[in-house]
Structure 1
Amino acid sequence: MKSVIAFYRDVVGLTPDEDQPFPEHRFFRFDTGECKLCLHSASKPNEGRQKIGFHVESVSAVHQDLKAKGLRLRPLENEDGLACFDIRDPEKNRIQFWGKY
C-alpha cells in the first residue's frame, strides 16, 4: 500500500489526512478539498470496473502536470469544451479526471 499512498500524495497531489494501521488491514485517508478519499487495504485484491473520478477545474492543466511527473498518457481530447482521461494507480485502480478542457 506504500506505493499507492505515495502515488496519490506525490503524483496526484492530495494531502494526507489520517493513517490508521490496524492489525488486519490499513486505513489511509486523503483530504481532496471537497471530500475525503479513503484507501483500505484488502486481503484479496481484485480488479473490477470501478473507478475514482476527480472533477477538476482544468483537465489540460492536470494532464500536463501528470505528464511532467513522468506518467505516459494518451493525448487529451477536447469535446465541446469538456475533456476527460483515465490513468491507473500502482495497484491498477482506474482513476478518471474530468472537467473543462
Structure 2
Amino acid sequence: MELTQVRLLVSDFPAVYRFYRDVLGLKPQFEAEHGPYAKLSPDTGNCAVALQDRAQMAGVLGQLGTEPEGYRALVVLRVEDLDAAHAELGARGAEFVKAPGPMGERMRVAYLEDPERNLIELQEWLALREESARNARR
C-alpha cells in the first residue's frame, strides 16, 4: 500500500484552489481552477494536497452527509524560516489563527485556515535550522 495524496473535499472549489495556489504558493499539476479535482505540490518533496469538489464526490457516492463542523482536516507544511513564511503569506492575504510559537523544544509552528476552514500548520524544524547554521560556520 502506498499513500499518494491527502484529498480535501471542498464546497467552494475555486476559492480553495486559488488559496492553495496563490496564497500558499503550491504548484498545480494542471490548471483546474473550477475543478472538480486538482492536485497541488510544494516545490520540494513528493507530497501533494488534492482538492475534490464536495458535490461531485457526493454524486459519486450517492450522498456525503452534511457539511462538517469544526476542524476535520489538517494540512502540514514544513518551511525553512517560519517568521519569513508568516510574513510572506500574510502579505498574500493569509489570516493566521495562531502566530508563530514553540511546539516543544524541536519545532515552531503557526496555524491558518483555508477558505473552507481546513486547518493548515506551518512547521519549522529547529534541529534542521541548527544543523544548517553549524554547516554554514564550517
Q: TM-score if structure 2 supplies the norm length? A: 0.60
Could you tell me which residue of structure 1 aligns to residue 133 of structure 2?
none
CA positional deviation for 1:80: 4.1
* Alignment gaps of 5+ in structure 2: 1-12, 56-63, 127-138
Q: Give the number of the structure whose alpha-carbon radius of gyration is greater.
A: 2
Q: Is structure 2 residue 79 aligned with structure 1 residue 67?
A: no
Tell me what 1:2 maps to: 14
By relative contact order (CA 8 Å, sep 6+), the higher-ranking structure is: 1
Which residue does 2:117 correspond to in 1? 92
Question: RMSD of the alignment, in Å?
Answer: 2.4
Q: Normalising by the residue count of structure 1, what TM-score does the alignment of the two structures yield?
A: 0.78
Alignment of 1:14-93 (within 5 A): 14-18=26-30, 26-32=36-42, 33-34=44-45, 35-43=47-55, 44=64, 45-47=67-69, 48-73=71-96, 74-78=98-102, 80=105, 82-93=107-118
Bigger strand fraction? 1
Deviation at 1:81, TM superposition (A): 6.4
Identity of matched residues, %: 26
Gaps of 5+ in 1: none
| Count of aligned residue pairs for this structure pair | 98
Q: Matches of 1:66 and 1:96 in 2, distance apart?
A: 13
Structure with bigger helix share is 2
State the distance in 1 between where 2:14 and 2:32 align: 13
